[in-house]
Structure 1
Amino acid sequence: MLAYRAFLTAGCALAVLSQAAAAQTAAQTAAVPAPAPVSQLVKAVDIPYQEFTLKNGLRVIVHTDRKAPIVAVSVWYDVGSKHEPKGKTGFAHLFEHLMFNGSENAPGDFFEPLQQVGATDFNGTTYFDRTNYFETVPTKALARALYLESDRMGHLTGAITQGVLDEQRGVVQNEKRQGDNQPYGLLRYKATEGLFPADHPYGHTTIGSMADLDAASLADVKNWFRSHYGPNNAVLVLAGDIDVATARPLVERYFGDIPRGPESVAPPAPVPTGLPGPAKEVMKDRVAATMVFKEWAVPGLNDKDAAGLQVAAGVLGGLASSRFDNVLVKGEKLAVQASAEYEPFAQVGTFQLTAIVRPGVDANLVSQRLDQLVAEFLKTGPTADEVNRYVTSTLSSRIDGLEAVGGFGGKATALAEGALYSNDPGFYKKQLAALAAQTPASVKAAADRWLSRPSYELQIVNGERDAYADAKAVPPAKVVEAPTPAVKGDRGPLPEVGEIAGLSFPKVERTKLSNGIELIYANRSVVPITQAVLSFDAGVAADVADKLGTQQLTLAMMDEGTKGLNSIQIAEARERLGAAIDSGSSADRTTLSLRVPSANLAAGTQLWADIARAPSFPESELGRVKNQQLAGIAQELTSPQGLVQRVLPKLVSAGSPYAKAQGSGDAAAVQSLTRADLVAFQQAWLRPDKAKIFVVSDRPLAEVRQVMEARFGDWKPSGTPGTKTFPATVNGVTPRIVLIDRPDSPQSLIAGASPTGLKGTDDLLPLEVGNDALGGSFLGRLNMDLREDRHWSYGVQGNYSRKAMAVPYVVYAPVQADQTGPAVAALRDDVTQYVTTKPMTQDEFTRAINSGTRSLSGDFETSDNVLAAMQSNDLYGRPDDYYATITQKYRALTLPQVTQATKAVIDPARFVWVVVGEAAKVKPQLDTLGLPVEVMPAAAVAGTPPASVAK
């Protein structure tokens, strides 16, 4: 669907430099070690492959990567929303869902046999140009995955019944509602209509219209399948522990007998030369801040200008040191966030500018300044340093992403995209080469050609939301349907799965720096990237009780300046190194993380350590960063998720430091914070005696330790360390429903939580196994009931929210507004039955054990996965080899043990519920459930944030 950003994330920024300050920048950054050249980074990106084509036209691409006993299976069909005729919008996406509901020889949910074999990264997506399906499976389960993919390619239509269609139609419509229910959620429709003519292939969104989805008939969808899903319109990529000699006979066996279908033809899709309607429009929505959105239609990814447009977007609004950030956010303080993005499709592209206007500022002024900044860029072009910084940052991110063989962005995706969009699996190399070859002149020329034309502008302002078209009302009864029998003969049973190789978790080594900081290290040599986390024993639980938001503001100010560098110098140095330096926090830990090409390890860690050890918290930037956090608080009061996250912790963790987890904090408190408050928090909590360093790198421990010793070994604490105090016993909750009134909500977000009396240091494995069948997986009863059986929701989950000192059980369920009350009742019934009359079955237990043990190699495929596991093991007091030995722990469990453990901690009578929805429609439904219902307006959740603070 049309790309649009999540807004009001905390940023790092500074005022525009004067000429004198610019000269100072050059002098100070000269002290930072020189980064590796772009050419060295380009060479690190390589995905060798071989390919063959079956007689029926199926194109098969194979990449061998033996790092783990797993294979990514990725099937890409040349059909997307651009192929949809008038009256059938949303069909491609609807069919994506239908293809997960079983095929003629593999009836039932597609995820069942995949979860049994321990598949990871399994999903499907649809966009303008394609529909794709992907899963990463253990090598010994490859035959099963190919059987399943081939059966839905060649043997699907007999499994599509009216009941299946109605079920998935409801799911898709709730997916649409879920997106529409967000602040600015209707932007994608208005912007698409404003940029493209209605009859243009890219002139409607991938999600489609409710009316067209309502009108889809069984004959329509079957004809759609026959017209588009033949093997000659597909690309199959196998990446991982596989080679061509092994792949070819398997693919021939499972796909070779599928007949060719009609050829998919790309519809004519020229870049529009003019706008179909007004160049400027205003839309009303219940938002906390006005958005100014501008967009151009531009060429797609195969055009010679694609790389230049990508760099132009990065320089204007993609870098931390972008021109929009430096001028609009940090210099003139007209916006709290500003960005630019080039989104290339196969035949066209879009170039988007977005600014979230600072409260009290005229949106038209921001619009004018965006135009002026673009005009200045077209006049002068970027500098060579800007081009180099963007290219280096982009290459670093791409190298890191290609560690994975599959999923949403791994190597299989790169090969498939190239084959489908550009008829070249190796097209990624051409893209990177074109990017590395960009110069100020080439970027200016591309921008001149396309951004000098008129843009479409949309302003979204606060007000009663513009009219929203929902689906037809449907009866609330469950769809009950007999399993679909095989109707085209027996292809034989699902292939057996061989013995799955055990997890080879990297060895974790521990050492200490001179000052006692512990260094926990693991070696991964797949990509030349080092990832490190400086983890402090702080977290949300350490936030200042009467000044909630102190920790977040402190972290947001950390890279606004150090003793040696200012914010722009920090951002530019980071970009030159291709380094990502980020801050974050969980309930128990506060982190400063680093990801950097290992060739730039010395320079990257020098910058990282400077931010960690010597933040200056400049007074000149404090007002602006406060405004950004205040705007974030205001946004949370318009977001269903933001409202739940602010209210639920106070109810389920009353009396505990974990109750401090209230979004971005208290508005009045944030407004009153001073530089001294931030310094005090940093000195109490972000200090060496509360720190550990976790590293995953291709460089040896000796080298890593030497670098970390040089950066942190002489760091000494000062002042008194902070302390966290947890109550000896957990306060009980008062079962009730808290209804947060959010008008104009097509969905309600339901969240339920109950304390368990557990700690994160307890052995939760039996409980996690037990939860697999309740709320922990797609096949869990909560999701299958509300999504698949009743089709009231796009997805439901229930999980143990693990913290060091508490583990509440939490359920999340976004549901269509008219079924809010029945959905809460269904959730309560499902949980109650699970711990009483309908406990986990032997089949569910077996599936959970199989999934848990067989998925391990996929679960820990990347350095990100390993780094997260190292931190979790340390936090919960588990041995460093916990995951290397977890298979034996799984296999020692029994069904009675799991059932008893689950019943002992989940009490349906102890749940407190938070519902975010339109009270006028929802409260009468909730009043029938036998629980007290408290209603509060969304604005009362955190008080009314001040509009702004002084510059």
Structure 2
Amino acid sequence: MKNKLYTIACGLLISISGSAQEVEFTEYDLDNGLHVILHQENKAPVVTVGVMYHVGAKDEEKGRTGFAHFFEHLLFEGTENIERGKWFDIVSANGGRNNANTTQDRTYYYETLPSNNLELGLWMESERMLHPVINKIGVDTQNEVVKEEKRQRIDNAPYGKIIYKTGINKYLFKKHPYGQSVIGSMADLDAAKLDEFIAFNKKFYNPNNATLVVAGDIQIEDTKKMISDYFGSIKNNGEKITRTNIEEEPITSEITAVEKDANIQIPAKVLVYRTPKQTEKDAYVLDYISTILTGGNSSRMQKNMVEDKKMALQVIAFTDAQEDYGTYLMGALPLGDVSLDKLLAEMDSEIEKLQNELISEREFKKLQNQFENNFVNSNSSIEGIANSLARYNMLYDDTSLINKEIEIYRSITREDIQNVAKKYLNKNQRLNLDYLPESSK
């Protein structure tokens, strides 16, 4: 009876999730190449205006790393019509909030405001695109801000070089710029001239390299008119960006390395594999594998290494798929005097089980249910919907994935899980990293 009810519940969840999360949107291009996506949702008087630029750390020149992340800060300095240092004040004074973030592949800026301030958000983002003020005082100010951020998040943060991958990606990517960190080199930023920052802005922060998203309590035709008024006349400062496909040689033998961290007392064993880009189905399968291993209290590594054998204080496994490549990371912190070699053997054992045995039907159903639930909750906020629409359009070239991506997960089989584990999670294809306290010999 329990199994029957379990099956009915699974079916009900699938049927609900298939319709409950439909996100309707309108998309089109302006004559200047700016891609526009509109999502109307009038349940609450809130609107998000977001602009995603197709520029990230991978677009930086060697010797000038950190520019994309630097611009995440610099383009809040002010514009010809927004006084320096007043951006956040204007947004908060009008009942809103705003932020930005940068990855290897893109930079995203957004404001969330009461819907009666939609025009303000559009004006501010058009100002950022059209009239940014890039001068020495702004560059010097943000240089200190970025340095402090690096100190807080990486230099002085426990396990910072793992979390932000400054101690990982350099081993996996020898040709591709994914080998450099998003935050970049402070020496590179110090050495850069003002003209180089101006040139970077001119090259990348143009309408034809951007996606504008407006989501929330809007009227489509009125919003189109405002967008035309504020963005339609903005000209592109340079040619449309063309990117060279940089291919890495396959990893054919295990890379062993040691990184030290003055901020930790407990070492970590970390395994990292180079994996396919985010648009490939195998990248989705690796999401499933992460959940099998460490997705909750009943996951395999959590139950085996933390609860039953009490050999690990903490375990992690996650995939980070990006536009050109991905990485898959597994790690564990030892409990007591357990050696890193014992953690390694246990993690390898978990991988081998995935490679040699199909997961059970029950475990597979549970896994599917978790992802169905994630899908139901994935677009629960207007901010989240705006971000997803921009990301699927820019990095996947398919905005409709906001509604269809769950079908990719539903198409994954138990055999796919086994085959992907065999294809990517092999000892001769990985980085085997000992992450140690600075005092370790």
| Cα distance between partner residues in 1 of 2:23 and 2:5 | 36
Contact 2:10 2:369 in 1 (8 A): no
3-state SS, counterpart of residue 251 of structure 2: coil
* Match for residue 174 of structure 1 among 136, 144, 148: 148
- 1:383 partner letter: S
Q: Residue by residue, what CA displacement relative to the aligned partner does 1:619-652 show, whole Å, maximum 9, x if unpaired?
A: xxxxxxxxxxxxxxxxxxxxxxxxxxxxxxxxxx
1:336 aligns with 2:321: no
Q: Residue 241 of structure 2 aligns with which residue?
A: 264
Structure 2 partner of 1:101: 77
TM-score of the aligned structures, taking structure 2 as reference length: 0.93
The answer (yes or no) to whether the contact 2:371–2:409 under 8 Å persists in 1 is no
Q: Match of 2:168, SS?
A: helix
Stretch of structure 1 that moved more, 249-258 or 99-108: 99-108
1:192 partnered with 2:169: yes
- What corresponds to 1:316 in structure 2? 293
What per-residue deviation string (whole Å, max 9, x for no partner) do you get for residues 161-192 of structure 1?
Answer: 11110000100111011012111123321111
Question: Residues of 2 paired with 1:416 and 1:200: CA distance?
Answer: 24
**When the two structures are superposed, what TM-score results if normalisation uses the length of structure 1?**
0.44
CA displacement 1:219-276 (0-9 Å, x = unmatched): 1110000010100000001111113211111001001111123222334243551279
Residue aligning to 1:288: 265
Separation of aligned partners in 2, 1:34 and 1:256: 52
Asked if 1:116 corresponds to 2:93, the answer is yes
Distance 1:194 1:282 in 2: 11
Partner-residue secondary structure (3-state), 2:314 = strand
Q: Aligned AA for 1:87?
A: G
Q: Which of the numbers 404, 412, 415 marks the counterpart of 2:389?
A: 415
Separation of aligned partners in 1, 2:71 and 2:351: 41
* Secondary structure, aligned partner of 1:102: coil
Report matched runs for 1:51-130 at 5 Å: 51-109=27-85, 110-120=87-97, 122-130=98-106
1:284, CA displacement in angstroms? 4.6
SS across alignment from 2:167: helix
What is the aligned length? 433
Opposite residue 368 of structure 2, the aligned amino acid is V
Give the AA of the match of 2:148.
N
Q: Which position in structure 2 is the counterpart of 1:454?
A: 429
| 1:367 counterpart residue number | 344
Contact 1:64-1:243 within 8 A present in 2 as well: yes
Unaligned regions of 5+ residues in structure 2, if any?
A: none
Q: Distance in 1 between matches of 2:302 and 2:249?
A: 30
- Which residue, out of 208, 211, 231, partners 2:207? 231
Runs of 4+ in 1 over 3 A off after TM superposition: 27-34, 269-272, 275-278, 463-466
In 1, Cα distance between equivalents of 2:233 and 2:266? 57
Say which SS state the counterpart of residue 165 (structure 1) adopts: helix
Q: Does 1:380 align with 2:354?
A: no
Looking at structure 1, the residues matched to 7 and 345 of structure 2 have their Cα atoms a distance apart, in angstroms, of: 40
State the one-letter code of the partner of 1:100: F
Q: 2: CA distance between counterparts of 1:29 and 1:102?
A: 61
Sort the Cα spacing of 1:99 and 1:270 in 2 relative to 1 into closer, same or farther, 3 A: same
Cα distance in 2 for partners of 1:115, 1:337 equals 39
Among all aligned residue pairs of Structure 1 and Structure 2, give the percentage whose two residues are the same amino acid: 30
Q: Distance in 2 between the 1:315 and 1:326 partners? A: 11
Residue identity opposite 1:341 in structure 2:
F
Please tell me whether residue 463 in structure 1 is matched to residue 434 in structure 2: no
Q: Name which of 413, 419, 422 aligns with 1:439.
A: 413
Distance 2:367 2:318 in 1: 13
SS at match of 2:250: coil
What amino acid is the match of 1:55? D
Aligned match of 1:142: 118
Q: 1:142 to 1:449 in 2, by over 3 A?
A: same
Per the alignment, residue 476 of structure 1 pairs with none
Which consecutive unaligned segments of at least 5 residues does structure 1 have?
Answer: 1-26, 467-951
Deviation at 1:28, TM superposition (A): 7.5
For 2:230, which of 228, 232, 254 is the aligned residue?
254
CA–CA distance in 1 between the matches of 2:263 and 2:209? 43
- Summarize deviations over 1:279-298 as a string: whole Å, max 9, x none: 34353534232211110110
1:132 aligns with 2:108: yes
Is the Cα contact below 8 Å between 1:82 and 1:267 reproduced in 2?
no
CA contact (8 A) 2:48 2:112 kept: yes
Q: With CA pairs under 8 Å and 6+ residues apart, which has the higher RCO, 1 or 2?
A: 2
**Residue type of the alignment partner of 1:213:** L
CA–CA separation in structure 2 for the residues paired with 1:303 and 1:252: 36
Conservation of the 8 A alpha-carbon contact between 1:194 and 1:276: no
Q: Which residue of the other structure, out of 37, 43, 48, is the alignment partner of 2:24? A: 48
1:222 aligns with 2:198: yes
Shift of 1:194: 1.6
Higher helix fraction: Structure 1 or Structure 2?
2
1:358 and 2:332 aligned? no
> Could you tell me how far apart the structure 2 residues matched to 1:357 and 1:370 are?
12
User: Residue 129 of structure 2 aligns to which amino acid in structure 1?
Assistant: M
